[in-house]
Amino acid sequence: MTRPAFVTVLAVLLLSLIPGVSHAGAAGALGTAGNLMREEQPRADGIRHVDTKAIIAGLKALNANTYVYPMAGDNVHWTDLRDEFLPAAAAAGIDVWVLVYSPSQAGCCVSRPFKHDYVAWSREIATLARSHPNLAGWTVDDYGYDLKTFTPAYVGQMRSAAEAISPGLKFVPTVYYSQFTDAFVAEQIPLMDGVIFPFRDEPYRDTSWSWSLSYQVRQLAERLPGTEVYLMPYAHPLSHAAQKPTVSYVEAVTRKGIEHVRSGELAGVLQYKLPFVSRDLAWTRPASDNLARSGDGRLSFVVQKDTATKAGDACGATRKLTLSAGAAKRVVSFWHRDARGPSHPAGYHVKQLLLNGQVVWQRDVTADAADTWARTTVDLTAKLGGATSATLQWRLYERKGVSDYFIDVSVDDITLTGLAMGDPGVENAAVWTPTLARQGGPVYCSAQVYHENYGADLGARIAKLYAAGQAPVS
């Protein structure tokens, strides 16, 4: 650890010892949404109530200053919010936002007691906020999919109902990047205090790649001046995405998000369903999620289903190697695997190894057996005569574009002779992630490192970022 980082951590530790310091404020809202736990046993009334104690303890361990409380189930969510959760959160210095489901989500979730009467929600949340000032805002989930309900006239009624009661209550609907059309910005944005922006690398749908985040954040900051934008990283699997978010992915998105909070482009970072209570089913991940050949990590190269690519699109990991002095042989070996074999269409996805930018090995994904680890060895001795350093790139290359041809190529257990590089077993995403580069369209590559204790491992990293995010800027 470098000295300035140590000083920052020390400062945060010292600050956290001062009682009564409010978390919310200039640092922005740093917290999480969802994963509301019920108590394990019913009370005397026969109801398993919201487990306020466990949730607050989990949020404090995360150093969260904000919790987005989902109105997910029956009426007890509302009464427990009013009678137990809001006072306990206030005592812990935590702001609460209420999440209400939209009509399009009725198949899975209806918020009670006011269901799809959003004027009633607005009025009642505002009424509750009058006696609980830590009830800071509310959101409608998937708002942008329901603009037939949320017409400007209707939202105007919703807002007037709240403004008469709690003018400070924030209305912050959840809107995806592609939904910020010019018409939406013109008609809808003036009706809101802010938006929750879930990041999924649109126009694609992915939770492994974070390089488009800063661009999208800056675009929104530019297009929505005066509107608070709250980034929502996916800490929970996104449906139809090829991979579950890894610890290092969520950490990277959160770290960048906090930088944008510092620079004023974001108003906060609110995780989507980060598991923060240990009995949450999402706290651990099944062993079957670990697709590494050995250890927990592998390189992964993905084209998602229903995703069009074009010839020349590629994604690769490029590593700088040192050459051991006087070595007689310079050889690289690695294991690779994918789910395609001779029965699948050839001529599209190609696995490649490049030395100093030149292809030195390649194989169509269909040329080797499906779901079988294969070892490739390439002798680089002749090509490296006299050299003192070199780069090797593992890459997935689109020979022809596809429209719907899923692939996930794994690479693991690299061994080197006469050459050296760190982490050849792909166990540390922090080593590999900065080496990744995409060329053209939606070919993804990432270091996929499995964490059995996902909630604990991710929570520890987010807690550090949230603590640092709330420390004064020095």
Q: How far is the CB of 275 from Ca ion (least distance, A)?
A: 24
Residue nearest to Ca ion (CB): 295
Q: How would you classify the pairing of strands 436-439 and 314-323?
A: antiparallel
**Options 70, 297, 316, 459; binder of Ca ion; rule CB under 5 A:** 297
Residue 411 engages Ca ion in binding (rule: CB under 5 A): no
- Nearest approach in angstroms of CB 152 to Ca ion is 53
Between residues 32 and 410, which has the closer beta carbon with respect to Ca ion?
410
Q: Would you count residue 265 as binding Ca ion (CB under 5 A)?
A: no
Nearer to Ca ion, 77 or 451 (CB): 451
Stretch of 13-21, 344-352, 408-416, 458-466 contacting Ca ion, by CB under 5 A: 408-416
As measured in angstroms, the least distance from the Cβ of 433 to Ca ion is 15
CA 281 to chain centre: 18
Inter-residue contact 306 to 404 (CB < 8 Å) = yes
User: Which one of the spans 158-166, 200-208, 364-372, 390-398 is the region binding Ca ion (CB under 5 A)?
Assistant: 364-372
Contact between 408 and Ca ion by CB under 5 A: the answer reads no
Nearest 10 degrees: Cα torsion 73, 79, 81, 86: 180
Residue 461: CB minimum distance to Ca ion, A: 20
If the CB atoms of residues 259 and 452 are measured against Ca ion, the closer one turns out to be 452
Who's near 145: CB < 8 A, 6+ residues apart? Answer: 102, 104, 179
Q: Rule CB under 5 A: choose which of 295, 312, 401, 440 binds Ca ion.
A: 295
- Minimum gap (Å) between residue 306 Cβ and Ca ion: 21
Count residues binding Ca ion (CB under 5 A). Answer: 10
Residue 361's DSSP bridge partners are 353
Which CB, 313 or 427, lies closer to Ca ion? 427
C-beta of 340 vs 451, nearer to Ca ion: 340
Segment lying near Ca ion (by CB under 5 A), choices 22-30, 97-105, 136-144, 417-425 = 417-425
Binding mask 422-441 for Ca ion (x = CB under 5 A): ---xx---------------
Nearest to 125 by CA among 84, 157, 81, 92: 81
413-451 in b/e form (b: 16+ CB < 10 A) is: bbebbbbebeebbbbbbebbbebbebeebbbbbbbbbbb
Could you please report the per-residue DSSP string of 212-252?
Answer: THHHHHHHHHHHSTTSEEEEE-B-SPPTT-SSPPPHHHHHH
* 240 backbone φψ class: left, alpha, beta (φ>0; ψ -120 to 50): left
Nearer CB in complex with Ca ion: 280/412: 412
- Whole-angstrom Cα Rg for the chain: 25
User: Which residues from 383-402 bind Ca ion, rule CB under 5 A?
Assistant: none
Shorter beta-carbon distance to Ca ion: residue 256 or 349: 349
Q: Residue 265 or 368: which CB sits closer to Ca ion?
A: 368
Residue 257 CB partners (closer than 8 Å, separation 6+): 213, 217, 231, 233, 266, 269
Residues 253, 195: contact at Cβ < 8 Å?
A: no
Beta carbon nearer to Ca ion, 133 or 342: 342
Shortest spacing between CB 234 and Ca ion, in angstroms: 24
Smallest distance from Ca ion to CB 376, Å: 12
The reply to whether 368 sits near Ca ion by the rule CB under 5 A is: yes
Q: Is 400 helix (H, G, I), strand (E, B) or coil?
A: coil
Q: Could you tell me which stretch among 256-264, 323-331, 336-344, 444-452 binds Ca ion (CB under 5 A)?
A: 336-344
Q: Which stretch binds Ca ion (CB under 5 A): 127-135, 239-247, 418-426, 430-438?
A: 418-426
* CA angle (131, 135, 141) in 5-degree steps: 140
Give the shortest CB-56-to-Ca ion separation in angstroms.
38
State which of positions 6-25 bind Ca ion (CB under 5 A): none
Of the pair 135, 392, the CB lying nearest Ca ion is at 392
Using rule CB under 5 A, residue 340 touches Ca ion: yes
- Residue by residue, DSSP assigns 123-163 as HHHHHHHHH-TTEEEEEETTGGG-TTTS-HHHHHHHHHHHH
The 444-449 sheet, strands edge to edge: 374-379, 331-337, 407-417, 297-303, 444-449
The stretch near Ca ion (CB under 5 A) out of 79-87, 222-230, 356-364, 368-376 is 368-376
Detail the DSSP E strand segments found in 256-296.
Answer: 268-272
Question: Backbone phi, then psi, for 241, in 5-degree steps?
Answer: -85, 150
397 near 350, Cβ under 8 Å? yes
Give the shortest CB-432-to-Ca ion separation in angstroms.
11
- As measured in angstroms, the least distance from the Cβ of 367 to Ca ion is 7
DSSP 81: I
Q: Does 338 bind Ca ion (CB under 5 A)?
A: yes
By CB under 5 A, residue 51 contacts Ca ion: no
Nearest to 414 by CA among 248, 293, 323, 322: 293
- Candidates 412, 432, 445, 469: give the one binding Ca ion (CB under 5 A): 412
Among residues 246, 360, 252, the alpha carbon closest in space to that of 299 is found at 246
CA angle 277, 175, 192 (to 5 degrees): 105
Residues that bind Ca ion (CB under 5 A): 292, 295, 297, 338, 340, 365, 368, 412, 425-426
